[in-house]
């Protein structure tokens, strides 16, 4: 009877640690990745792989005041559905997740569920303005460029070059939040906006919308949309022999854009996208080291297209950096707090710790800002022959090195 009681006590203590299994003296903690694996697999898989790489790599076994821990990463597919994303968060909490890494869909509802359980959520893709609020959403963090930062950087880069810009967003949350950020960024230069359009994300042909932009005498397009819509806009413009300059946020580098335009690789040439810089001032060393580890573990991520010379094009794991960095920040916070059971302590420690990010940047949050990527870190890259390289006519981008994308 005594033994049974002792076992029950030990079992109870172990359950309180918030993990989902144990391996000898090292307990396993669950990190949930809530992302659209089925709808935009590149985004979902990249986020999950980054988290797994940190969990099995530098984060590995975590030594805290409460003992040693390792991590297990579990994937929850949102299918870009807010409802499913919320249900996933509820399930992840029930599974004992100590943290949730999220693409951002449904976050406006799901954060409360995680907050009630004192579980941190880190968004590593969507940059919408309302997502992160250090005061009102104390458990929500983000390591990804903000829409605000991307939109203002696009405005300051595009306005001096182009007379009139068409702002185009798709009807997804992502597209609408982006349009909102662009409205704000261009509000001081309304004369630069030729037209503002919302296009359907799933429409097979976007020619009518693109024609409206052309009739509004737009001299450039900024397309803030999911990859399929971006490809649709490019196809509609170039298909009508309209060689208008085009700019996008980070979705422009999604392999899906190039895959959909594989039959017309020249249509992609000149496309400029804005994203978080993959390398920092310290050089490409940290990112290349991260990329090597990533590719050793998960293999090279092929885009599925070739250059005109016939070389296979690969995709650098730039978005994987963010989930990777969050796991490392989480570990630093756990070590600073009173152990993994001290959930309040972990949340407040997340505001006080920093780590070296995968790209060599300083990565961390603070009490007044839960965004881990500063707006300054947005760079621009231009496609040429299905690969991209940082532009030379922007001070930040000009300092960055080119990441090899050929195999």
Both structure tokens of 349: 């420690």
325 touches another protein by CB under 8 A: no
Q: Binding segment for another protein among 73-81, 108-116, 196-204, 349-357 (CB under 8 A)?
A: 349-357
171 touches another protein by CB under 8 A: no
Instruction: Among 12, 204, 310, 395, indicate the residue that binds another protein (CB under 8 A).
Output: 395
Backbone angles phi and psi of 23, in degrees to 5: -135, 95
Instruction: Among 129, 374, 391, 401, indicate the residue that binds another protein (CB under 8 A).
Output: 374
Instruction: Among 115, 307, 366, 401, indicate the residue that binds another protein (CB under 8 A).
Output: 366
Q: Which CB, 194 or 280, lies closer to another protein?
A: 280
Instruction: Among 28, 81, 259, 354, indicate the residue that binds another protein (CB under 8 A).
Output: 354
367 touches another protein by CB under 8 A: yes
Q: Among 312, 318, 389, 328, which residue's Cα sits nearest to residue 364?
A: 328
Q: Which CB, 37 or 290, lies closer to another protein?
A: 290
d(CA 218, CA 89): 42
Q: What's the closest the beta carbon of residue 267 comes to another protein, in angstroms?
A: 32
Q: Where in 46-65 is the site for another protein (CB under 8 A)?
A: none
Cβ of 188: how many Cβ atoms within 10 Å? 9
Q: What's the closest the beta carbon of residue 283 comes to another protein, in angstroms?
A: 11
Instruction: Among 108, 352, 391, 401, indicate the residue that binds another protein (CB under 8 A).
Output: 352
Q: Which CB, 150 or 386, lies closer to another protein?
A: 150
Q: What's the closest the beta carbon of residue 86 comes to another protein, in angstroms?
A: 30
d(CA 61, CA 28): 9
Q: What's the closest the beta carbon of residue 382 comes to another protein, in angstroms?
A: 19
Instruction: Among 30, 59, 121, 353, indicate the residue that binds another protein (CB under 8 A).
Output: 353
- Placement of tokens 């951002």 in the chain: 104
Cβ of 315: how many Cβ atoms within 10 Å? 20
184 touches another protein by CB under 8 A: no
Contact (Cβ atoms closer than 8 angstroms) between residue 171 and residue 200? yes
Q: Give the H or E element holding residue 398.
A: helix 395-398
Contact (Cβ atoms closer than 8 angstroms) between residue 201 and residue 179? no
Instruction: Among 58, 351, 389, 401, indicate the residue that binds another protein (CB under 8 A).
Output: 351
d(CA 274, CA 381): 7
198 touches another protein by CB under 8 A: no
Both structure tokens of 367: 């009490």
In our burial notation (b when 16+ CB lie closer than 10 A, e otherwise), range 244-283 reads bbbbbbbbbbbbbbbebbeeebebbeebbbbbbbbbbeee
What ranges in 216-254 are assigned the alpha helix state H?
227-239
95 touches another protein by CB under 8 A: no
Q: What's the closest the beta carbon of residue 377 comes to another protein, in angstroms?
A: 6
> What's the burial of 79, exposed, middle or buried (CB within 10 Å: 0-12/13-18/19+)?
middle
Q: How many CA atoms lie within 13 Å of 16's alpha carbon, on the beta-carbon side?
A: 10
d(CA 34, CA 105): 9
CA distances in angstroms from 303 to 6, 264, 314, listed in the order given: 55, 15, 5
116 touches another protein by CB under 8 A: no
**Contacts with another protein: how many residues (CB under 8 A)?**
22
Q: Which CB, 216 or 374, lies closer to another protein?
A: 374
User: Mask of contacts with another protein, 245-284, x by CB under 8 A?
Assistant: -----------------------------------xx---
375 touches another protein by CB under 8 A: yes
d(CA 365, CA 349): 9
User: Mask of contacts with another protein, 281-320, x by CB under 8 A?
Assistant: x---------------------------------------
Contacts with another protein, residue ranges (CB under 8 A) = 280-281, 351-356, 361-362, 365-369, 374-377, 395-396, 399
């Amino acid at each position: 009877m005594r033994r049974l009681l002792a076992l029950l006590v030990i079992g109870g203590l172990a359950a309180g640690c918030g993990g989902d299994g144990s391996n000898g003296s090292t307990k396993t903690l669950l990190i949930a990745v809530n992302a659209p694996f089925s709808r935009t697999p590149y985004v979902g898989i990249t986020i999950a792989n980054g988290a797994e790489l940190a969990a099995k790599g530098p984060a590995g076994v975590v030594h805290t005041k409460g003992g040693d821990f390792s991590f297990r990463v579990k994937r929850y597919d949102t299918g870009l559905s807010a409802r499913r994303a919320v249900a996933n968060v509820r399930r992840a909490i029930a599974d004992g997740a100590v943290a949730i890494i999220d693409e951002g869909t449904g976050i406006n509802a799901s954060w409360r569920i995680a907050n009630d359980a004192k579980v941190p959520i880190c968004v590593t893709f969507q940059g919408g303005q309302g997502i992160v609020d250090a005061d009102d959403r104390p458990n929500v963090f983000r390591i990804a460029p903000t829409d605000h930062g991307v939109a203002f950087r696009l405005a300051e880069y595009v306005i001096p070059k182009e007379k009139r810009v068409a702002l185009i967003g798709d009807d997804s949350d992502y597209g609408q939040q982006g349009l909102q950020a662009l409205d704000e960024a261009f509000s001081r230069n309304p004369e630069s906006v030729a037209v503002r359009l919302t296009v359907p994300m799933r429409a097979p042909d976007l020619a009518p919308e693109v024609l409206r932009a052309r009739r509004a005498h737009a001299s450039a397009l900024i397309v803030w949309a999911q990859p399929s819509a971006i490809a649709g806009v490019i196809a509609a413009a170039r298909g009508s022999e309209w060689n208008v300059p085009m700019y996008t946020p980070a979705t422009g580098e999604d392999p899906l854009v190039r895959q959909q335009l594989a039959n017309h690789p020249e249509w992609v040439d000149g496309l400029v996208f804005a994203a978080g810089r993959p390398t920092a001032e310290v050089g490409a060393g940290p990112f290349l080291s991260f990329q090597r580890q990533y590719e050793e573990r998960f293999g090279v991520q092929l885009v599925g297209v070739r250059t005109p010379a016939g070389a296979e094009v690969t995709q650098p794991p730039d978005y994987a950096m963010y989930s990777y960095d969050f796991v490392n920040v989480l570990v630093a916070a756990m070590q600073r707090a009173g152990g993994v059971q001290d959930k309040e302590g972990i949340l407040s420690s997340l505001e006080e710790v920093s780590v070296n990010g995968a790209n060599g940047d300083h990565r961390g949050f603070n009490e007044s800002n839960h965004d881990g990527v500063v707006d300054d870190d947005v760079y621009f890259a231009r496609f040429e022959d299905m690969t991209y390289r940082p532009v030379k006519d922007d001070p930040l981008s000009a300092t960055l090195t080119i990441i090899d994308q050929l195999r």
